[in-house]
Amino acid sequence: MKATGIIALSLLGLAAAAPHRQHLHAHDKAKRELVMVTETAEVVETVVATTTVWVDPEDVPATTAPTTTEEPVYTAPPAPTTTEEAPAPETTSEASSTSVYVAPAPTTSETPSSTYTPPAPTTTETPTSTYVAPAPETTSSSTSSAIVAAETAASSGSDSAPAGSEVYNPSRITYYSPSVGTSSCGEVYSDDSNVVALSSGNMNSNLCNAKITIELNGKTFPAFIGETCPGCPSDHSLDITPGLFTKMMGSTDAGVIRDAKWWFD
């Protein structure tokens, strides 16, 4: 704008200084009206300027979060509810009639139950303790009696034994434990007794408790028959007790005797 004003003033000065011919010929022409013409010229000047600005991070203002405005929401009022009550008089009459009817029932039913229960367990326990006591004593005494009876019968001999019979040379004499159960002659013997078992091929019931004599290396040993030996050879072989085997051999280490002989007494 400053440049525009300067140009306008310059043009005005030039117009005033220029000579006019009309003064020379004033007598020839009439004087004209002065007209001022103002010309405005607009000059636009663009200046390019580059500026470098250093910004300190600490001077940068913190960014504020945008604020949101919450508009109120219109809520419609709830619809009116109606409550209907049940008629009071009917309920009262039913409750009172029910309680009056039930009350006497349980009192009458419980009387006979308590009277019946007590005497039952008292009667059951009496015979049980009386029966158990004598049982074990009878068994042990009968076992001892059987062993004593067998020893007595063996010492007295048997009339059925073939007296003065031949001498037998069995192929073997072994030993067994007679105390494990009742023998074929119906008796129970101890392992230290002189009872012998005769081979099943030579044994019969008439020979139970028959006395015999066994000879080994010139020594004789008394014994009696009281059992059957099912595994012995049928050549009058014998199965004797560990006690009698030890008397004849000094121990049971040999397990078998092959050079003995025996006969009925």
pLDDT higher than threshold 80 for residue 87? no
**How many other C-beta atoms lie within 10 A of the C-beta of residue 199?**
20
| Residues 251, 231: Cα–Cα separation, whole Å | 22
The pLDDT, as a whole number, for residue 114 is: 44
- Predicted confidence band at 78 (pLDDT cuts at 50, 70, 90)? low
Which of 162-166, 194-198, 232-236, 255-259 shows the lowest per-residue confidence on average (mean pLDDT)?
Answer: 162-166
pLDDT tens-digit map of 174-218 = 999 999 999 999 999 999 999 999 999 999 989 999 999 999 999
Q: Which two tokens stand for residue 85?
A: 């009550």
Mean pLDDT value across residues 18-44: 61
The pLDDT, as a whole number, for residue 11 is: 64
Mean pLDDT value across residues 83-93: 47
| Residues 216, 199: Cα–Cα separation, whole Å | 19
Structural domain boundaries of the chain? 150-264
Which of 26-35, 52-61, 119-128, 239-248 shows the lowest per-residue confidence on average (mean pLDDT)?
Answer: 119-128
Mean pLDDT value across residues 108-127: 47
Q: Place domain 150-264 in its CATH homologous superfamily.
A: RlpA-like domain (2.40.40.10)
8 Å CB contact between 185 and 208: yes
Would residue 117 be called left, alpha or beta, if left means φ above 0 and alpha means ψ between -120 and 50 degrees?
Answer: alpha
The pLDDT, as a whole number, for residue 37 is: 75
| Residues 198, 231: Cα–Cα separation, whole Å | 10
Greater pLDDT, 29 or 11: 11
Residue 135 carries which DSSP code?
A: H
| Residues 168, 234: Cα–Cα separation, whole Å | 12
The pLDDT, as a whole number, for residue 8 is: 60
List, as own/partner pairs, every contact residues 88-93 make where C-beta atoms lie below 8 angstroms and the sequence separation is at least 24, other chains included.
Answer: none
Residue 209 carries which DSSP code?
A: T
Mean pLDDT of the chain: 69
**Predicted structure pTM score:** 0.41
The pLDDT, as a whole number, for residue 4 is: 58
**Pairing relation of β-strands 238-240 and 219-229?**
unpaired
Residue 117 carries which DSSP code?
A: S
Would residue 186 be called left, alpha or beta, if left means φ above 0 and alpha means ψ between -120 and 50 degrees?
Answer: left
List, as own/partner pairs, every contact residues 116-125 make where C-beta atoms lie below 8 angstroms and the sequence separation is at least 24, other chains included.
Answer: none
